[in-house]
Structure 1
């Protein structure tokens, strides 16, 4: 059965829509309001399945009301009601269930209710399928992804996130960056829409927050974007959803010294680093955190690779040192570690090749000499291998 919430500042239009709905099957109850603010206050308690919302209202318009209603009752489907066809595209950009034109026709309303019934049925099936599903983790290294939290990395699967726009993805990434912390509306407007006046920028913000909530809803993500009192900012609360950044950082910072019995744990934490923090997107606001996390991972990875090398686990050490120079091509420790491993494996040409790569990077790209530590080691290595002649 369907619970409907109707909001329209025109009383006659409101009564007309209410009468039409009562003529349709599966309607359990209807609450009608001419004041959107009053409707928002009762929405969470009433918990409607569908909200019929007029777009053009004085004061709080339909787009703003939709953003606030999404927080009050995130499971509700929104149907925009408008006298102007021009609003249709904007309604669907907000990922509304439907839009209907005034004066509302019964035949058109029947199609909307059927669409709602189909969505509610699908929602029920998804809930049954996801009962007992694995926990999830938001990944921020390299790109923004959502994955299942299986202990075995090979068993982790990615859960699609269908962002309506790149701005919606970046706004969510920014809230995720500031998770569990209050982010003011003014800060968001300045960060994402500095070129617009306050009113237009605010409309973009409300619309984008709505997009984000709809994306989370479609992915069955229990995270909440809380609109703080006064509508002056937001807090992203993840509930029991983890973040790869926290898994890696908490693991590394709280871990004991690397030993044979805990090396697998250290490797597991290191493996979470699949690339720079939001590295795929080049978000300017992420640059500081990107550098901090890279340095944290790099120091730990070098320590772990040296541990492997000392125990003659050359394959493991080689893999880590190779990853280090991919993440930071100018890492002296990474290149030096590779040369040492190649030397121990008797791959003399590989030592020479690696040093040549290091020389090109520093001398041609940066215009400086090879770092003293690596240059000194290579010079000593050459002295210890007097019969070696490079094939280059």
Structure 2
């Protein structure tokens, strides 16, 4: 049973075999056409020169010397002989040309086989390397050397795809590890708290009630974490439908609760019409997370700036805030799940707010640009595709790093 797939693989019509047959057939057809044209030219367009015999002498004319012997006039036998000779020459020419054509057809097929193998050698190398690459060896690359042709473009494209797959697998592994840690830690604490309380035979009702309240507080935190994880997964999955909306209206509806919860930072707004298209709940979550992040990681007497309008012909939302100085090389880490920076950022966030913003922006083909402010804090600009251009620009859906 194991030899049958190998035999089937050897019998398949490979590209090399098909190219070889194509080369041979093309050469044969071209040779047949050339031979046919040559034969027609020799048989009709270029006839053999006719031989005219000399005229017989005039015997009635007197001569001083003895008359030359009479030359008999050519008869039908000479004409027939010339015709037969011509037919025999054409037959020999056709036979010799056909034999040469058959021989050269086999030679051209052999040369085609060699040239096809040489041309397809990089593809065989790509196939062999791709078979060796698995989920555990995504760091390998084809790294094809050679002329800058279509095969080199294919290899470079595959290398780029492998790079993106490696980054996605690595991000998935880190995300699963961080999510497991974030969920396991409070569960372990709650279980320990319940075990210690239940192990105390003298525990009072007040102690049990206090323990239950602490467990409920932990459960609310876990519920927020699970909701954030579900929102992140939904944003990464893409959009199911789109609706027309105005970023100014969405942002304005969230400013009331934000001002009520803000203890210190001052909120300044400049809301201009910004018609966009997308999932209303996801866009509302994006705006809410940006505002929450600006308020949470701020100073007591700081400020938050919120602007909506049109930026380079596209609806946009901009949120700026004061706060601690963030190094430019750490801005990308802000948009990774559960990534903690070394800067003193206050608050009890889940570490998922800006990663959810990035996922929602990608789902809407929006361009996200985050830059650290020299005096501290962040300047985040989100540009959505216009309503008439849901696909966005070629760079849409990608997060642009901080300005250099």
TM-score range, shorter chain: under 0.3
TM-score scaled by structure 1? 0.19
TM-score scaled by structure 2? 0.19
